[in-house]
């Protein structure tokens, strides 16, 4: 009887210990170390235990440190600690995680998403539509936190303010709930027109559309008020976004905006033009189109986003305003405009998203 009771106690102790220390993995390569760590972080495990042979403490600690710093999932972490012990030819390395959210905070975010994701998606069916609706919901409901206080999805959602990390984590959680393939990435970023000295730490997302990967930066879309950083590629990112963490694959060179533009120009695709207008603004390729859109803005008093080749819009805008004013029977107006770089075509034409505002004198 005594032996049986002790055996039961021993089994119970093992079960409790396993729950406390999390998962244990036998690893023999850096890839296996990375897979184990990523799996546990995404499952919010408190610890990861790695058992390796034919190595030493120092090497394992360097591998773990390098892996965690290289993965986008490290954005989930506030900090981590690692300890390694050699015994009987085996090296046991234990990693303990402190997450940016507590379990209760993660549950609060999950509960909010479960309750509201249908309303946020608003009937969106395709992956593109889902990404757009999540992006628009965040632009409408979240503001950038200039105090750099709110870094988690929970803090960003609760306070309706967040830094880039908060935006990226909240977008990740919403996109996951919408059934999208989404990833986290961090590195450095700067405004396209600024030099390297302006680089700052930054976090954003990667999404998969079909067989292609694109970047999404909801924080910058929100701060600029336009979707210049919705589904962009490396041709655009080379001026602004520089990832340091490992990417899930090869990012598309061309932005989704440029791909739609090419479809519009080559095939006169009405569906591509409609999607382009939804995501980025009305594409202006002809002078009459520029006049028509300015006339619409004047008559309706609404802001309309236009996308056009920089030289074309700049050289024709003043004349187009005069023609639109004459059509609208308006004597004169004051106007302001701003623009954000969107993509460069294969024949080296730079396209921008233009924001115009008019006020009658």
Domain boundaries, the chain: 2-99, 103-253, 259-360
The separation between CA 325 and the C-alpha centre of its own chain, rounded to angstroms, equals: 41
Domains 2-99 and 103-253 share a fold: no
Residue 151 has pLDDT above 50, yes or no: yes
Which 3 state secondary structure label does DSSP give 185? strand
Output the pLDDT for position 22: 65
Output the pLDDT for position 21: 53
Q: 243 forms bridges with which residues in the sheet?
A: 187
Output the pLDDT for position 13: 34
- What kind of fold does domain 259-360 have according to CATH? Translation Initiation Factor IF3 (3.30.110)
CATH number, span 2-99: 3.30.1370
Overall residue count recorded for the chain in this entry: 361
- What kind of fold does domain 103-253 have according to CATH? C8orf32 fold (3.10.620)
Question: What's the rounded mean pLDDT across residues 284-297?
Answer: 95
Each residue of 29-59: b (16+ CB within 10 Å) or e?
eeeebbebbbebbeeebebbbbebeebeeee
Tokens found for residue 79? 């900090």
* DSSP 8-state class, residue 254: S
Q: What is the DSSP string of 9-63?
A: HHHHHHHHHHHHH-EEEE--SHHHHHHHHHHHHHTT-SEEEEEEES--HHHHHHH
Output the pLDDT for position 9: 36
Q: What is the pLDDT of residues 302-332, one digit of tens each?
A: 888 999 999 999 999 999 999 999 999 998 8
Question: What's the rounded mean pLDDT across residues 59-88?
Answer: 96
State the Cα–Cα distance between residues 97 and 155, nearest whole angstrom: 19
């Amino acid at each position: 009887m005594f032996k049986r009771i002790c055996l039961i106690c021993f089994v119970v102790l093992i079960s409790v210990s396993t729950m406390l220390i999390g998962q244990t993995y036998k690893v023999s390569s850096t890839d296996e170390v990375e897979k184990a760590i990523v799996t546990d972080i995404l499952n919010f495990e408190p610890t990861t235990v790695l058992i390796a042979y034919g190595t030493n403490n120092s090497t394992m600690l360097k591998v773990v440190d390098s892996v965690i710093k290289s993965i986008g999932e490290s954005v989930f972490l506030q900090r981590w600690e690692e300890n390694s012990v050699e015994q009987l030819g085996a090296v046991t390395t234990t990693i303990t995680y402190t997450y940016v959210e507590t379990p209760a905070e993660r549950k609060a975010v999950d509960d909010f998403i479960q309750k509201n994701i249908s309303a946020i998606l608003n009937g969106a069916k395709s992956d593109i539509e889902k990404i757009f609706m999540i992006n628009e919901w965040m632009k409408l409901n979240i503001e950038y936190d200039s105090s750099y206080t709110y870094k988690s999805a929970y803090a960003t959602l609760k306070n309706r303010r967040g830094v880039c990390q908060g935006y990226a984590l909240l977008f990740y959680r919403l996109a996951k709930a919408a059934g999208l393939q989404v990833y986290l990435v961090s590195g450095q970023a700067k405004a396209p027109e600024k030099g390297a000295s302006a680089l700052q730490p930054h976090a954003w997302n990667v999404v998969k559309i079909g067989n292609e990967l694109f970047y999404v930066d909801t924080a910058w879309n929100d701060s600029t008020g336009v979707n210049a950083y919705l589904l962009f590629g490396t041709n655009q990112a080379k001026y602004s976004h520089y990832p340091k963490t490992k990417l899930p694959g090869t990012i598309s060179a061309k932005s989704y905006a440029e791909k739609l533009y090419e479809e519009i120009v080559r095939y006169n695709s009405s569906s591509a033009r409609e999607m382009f207008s939804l995501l980025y603004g009305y594409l202006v390729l002809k002078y009459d189109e520029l006049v028509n859109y300015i006339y619409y803005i004047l008559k309706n008093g609404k802001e309309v986003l236009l996308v056009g080749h920089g030289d074309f819009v700049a050289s024709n805008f003043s004349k187009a305003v005069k023609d639109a004013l004459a059509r609208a029977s308006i004597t004169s107006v004051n106007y302001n405009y701003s623009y954000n770089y969107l993509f460069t075509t294969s024949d080296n034409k730079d396209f921008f998203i233009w924001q115009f505002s008019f006020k009658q004198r």
